Chain A
Amino acid sequence: MPSLSDYESHVRQLCLARAPDPRDVDALGGESWRWLRYRRMVRRRFEETLEHQFPRSFAGIGEETFGAIVERFLAASPPRSAVLRDVGGEFADFFLRATFFALPPYARDLVRLDWAERAVGYELDDDASDRIVELVMDRPAVLCRAHRLLRLVHAVHRWDSNAEAPPRAEPAALCIYRERDTHEVRVLKMSGAGMALLEEIALGERTLVDAIRTAAERSDGTLDLDFARATGALLVELTSRGLLLGSRASVSKDESP
């Protein structure tokens, strides 16, 4: 019998290597088919979890290729999170870092959107102790924690996985957020100026008036009455959706209220 440390290392190797190494099986002793069951169970759990967490990616990339990428993930960058739901984040990081040949051009956007939706669903609730006041122009605005902003190259959010046509190459700016009352995750397609404003607010550094000004500059908009009206309507809608919470009680991020 190997030491406890060696024994556990052999189990890990056997379960996560791309192919089972007979040396691991021999070192574990006993009936090899029993240890190979563990390999099957460990891998199946990860496969099922990732298929569940990345439904668009699974459909868009295809079962065989998706499975091959999961296999590579398990061997090259195995999960370190002790919480199963967080394995999807590790997989998304691996996917977006690695180079894969023969993947469709929209694959990265599929993975980014799938994980953004999951992460928003899992995100912590807003902290009731955060000091937030009614929305005012001269303080930074505050978005709820449960949101992600994504700029995509392909319109994967509109893609029907049952359709034969692949996602269209069409830039999309998305705000993914969780509704406060129903906990449902929603995807909002944003205009250029709207996305720029959300990005500026999310930075948490500028007062709302400065964020609006910067967003107008970034989106080549003119700060005229129409822009002000559109911005006002957007802020009202974001507030009604629970995405915009109000203004920070202090002007600077570091200032204690």
Chain B
Amino acid sequence: MAGVGIGLRAPLVDDLLDAPPSELRFVEVAPENYIARGGRYSADLRRVAARWPVVAHGLSMSLGGVDPLDRGYLGRLRAFLRDIGSPWHSDHLSFGVVGGVALHELCPIPFTRAAAEHVAARVREAQDLLGLPMAVENITYYATPGAEMDEGDFIGEVLRSSGCKLLLDVNNVHVNAKNHGFDALSVLSKLPLAEVVQIHIAGHDASDPELTIDTHAEAISDDVYSLLEWTLARTGPLPVLLERDDDFPPWSELCDEVRRLDGIVQRAGSLENGDERAVESSSMRDGAACRP
């Protein structure tokens, strides 16, 4: 499924079905938007699933939470994943449910050994209940609760202990680097790139000098395109998902983003096949600091 996909959002459905970019290889859905729901949403999903492979990406598992996993929901999710034929299920390295109360926000988990073990145990439990492999996504975090290790080590620990894969959001790496004064490439270099099964890419709002916000409501910035290119040059081609959740531009602009992303994925494929011209054209290949 390597290639470019797009997140299915209600305002995009008609354009997607009427004039899809030829480069589009898959569609991603948030199961929470479709489980136990009929009408337009279920009809749209059927139409889309008839044309493209569909992969699921959840919001509500609260993998870092201390409340027990919601087994009722996971049962419904399992059935949904089977229906759409998703090859895996992904959710975020965050918590959002506390004492039965749902915050509907991706809140940060402390980067501690205890938290990594806790998350890994929940990922293993979720994988068993879903009957599918899972991938976890690095989130944007605006505050850092007491940390014993950096994010790369924390993610590595969760992956090693749970056996799950990584959904790498390169925009989140960029936003975190800006907000916490890191070098994004150093962060990426520490991540277990061999375990990445999918990449997310999106725009962010950098208008507030105090804090850059991961909005999914702007065009992808050149910095983030460069991070993607750097990453794919090391991983080889992967499924790359364009997330656009708000302030939707004309459809043609999103199609242009899909095409630009596809070009980067294609170059990574050429690179993997030893095409030196592709190496030359990759803007992030030069400079030792870029290498992991």
The verdict on A1 contacting chain B, using a C-beta distance below 8 Å, is yes
CA distance A14 to B40 in the complex (A): 37
**B39 near A123 (CB under 8 angstroms)?**
yes
Contacts of A30 in B (CB 8 A): 143-145
Write out the residue numbers on chain A whose beta carbons fall within 8 Å of the beta carbon of B143: 28, 30-31, 34-35, 37-38
Which residue of A is nearest B118, CB measured? A4
Q: Is B274 among interface residues, defined by CB-CB distance under 8 A?
A: no
Contact between B32 and A84 (Cβ–Cβ < 8 Å)? yes
Residue B101 is within 8 A (CB to CB) of chain A in the complex: yes
Q: What is the CA–CA distance of A31 and B118 in the complex, to the nearest angstrom?
A: 26
The number of chain A residues with a CB under 8 A from chain B is 41
Task: Kindly list chain B residues whose C-beta atoms are within 8 Å of the C-beta of A45.
Answer: 104-105
Residues on A with beta carbons closer than 8 Å to the beta carbon of B80 = none
A86-129 interface (Cβ within 8 A of B): 87, 121-125
Question: Interface on chain A toward B: helix, strand, loop, or mixed SS?
Answer: helix
Q: Mark B40-74, 1 if CB is under 8 A from A, else 0.
A: 10110000000000000000101011100010010
A4 and B104 form a contact (CB under 8 A): no
Q: Say if the beta carbon of B102 comes within 8 Å of chain A.
A: yes
Nearest A residue to B100 by beta-carbon distance? A80
Check: B36 CB closer than 8 A to any chain A CB. Answer: yes
- Does any Cβ of B come within 8 Å of A41's Cβ? yes
Instruction: Check A84 against B104 for contact (C-beta < 8 Å).
Output: yes
Contact status B95-A8, CB under 8 Å = yes
User: Which of B40, B66, B145 gathers the greatest number of chain A CB atoms within 10 Å?
Assistant: B145
Q: Is B110 touching A124 in the complex (CB atoms < 8 A)?
A: no
A149 adjacent to chain B (CB < 8 Å): no
Residue interface mask A117-150, B partner, CB < 8 A = 1: 0000111110000000000000000000110000
- Cβ < 8 Å to A, chain B residues 132-155: 142-146
- In the complex, the answer to whether B97 meets A4 with C-beta atoms within 8 Å is no
Tell me whether B73 and A82 are in contact (CB under 8 A). Answer: yes
A37-B142, A183-B39 are contacts. A11–B98 as well, Cβ < 8 Å?
A: yes
B38 touches A38 (CB 8 A): no
Interface residue from B35, B39, B101, B107 paired with A80 (Cβ < 8 Å): B101
- State the CA gap A28–B144 with chains docked (Å): 9
Chain B residue at minimum C-beta to C-beta distance from A33: B210
Nearest CB of chain A from residue B88's CB, rounded to whole Å:
20
A4–B145 alpha-carbon span in the complex (Å): 10
A168 to B105, CA, bound (A): 40
Q: How would residues 85 to 124 of chain B score, 1 for a CB under 8 Å from any chain A CB and 0 otherwise?
A: 0000000000111111111110101101011001000000
Which residues of B lie under 8 Å from residue A124 when comparing CB positions? 36-38
Per-residue A-contact encoding for B179-190, CB less than 8 Å = 1, 0 else: 000000000000
Question: Is the CB–CB distance between A122 and B32 below 8 Å?
Answer: no
Q: Closest CB-CB distance, B56 to chain A, in whole Å?
A: 14
**Beta-carbon contacts under 8 Å, B148-195 to A:** none
Nearest chain B CB to A18 CB, angstrom units: 15
A-B contact pairs, 15 of them (CB 8 A): A4-B66, A5-B66, A16-B103, A28-B143, A29-B145, A29-B146, A30-B144, A33-B210, A37-B142, A42-B105, A45-B104, A80-B100, A82-B70, A84-B32, A85-B37
Please name the 9 residue pairs, one residue from A and one from B, whose CB atoms are nearest each other, closest first: A1-B146, A125-B38, A34-B143, A82-B60, A183-B40, A12-B98, A124-B38, A183-B39, A78-B101
Residues of A within 8 A of B (CB): 1, 4-5, 7-9, 11-12, 15-16, 28-31, 33-35, 37-38, 41-42, 45-46, 78-85, 87, 121-125, 145-146, 178, 183
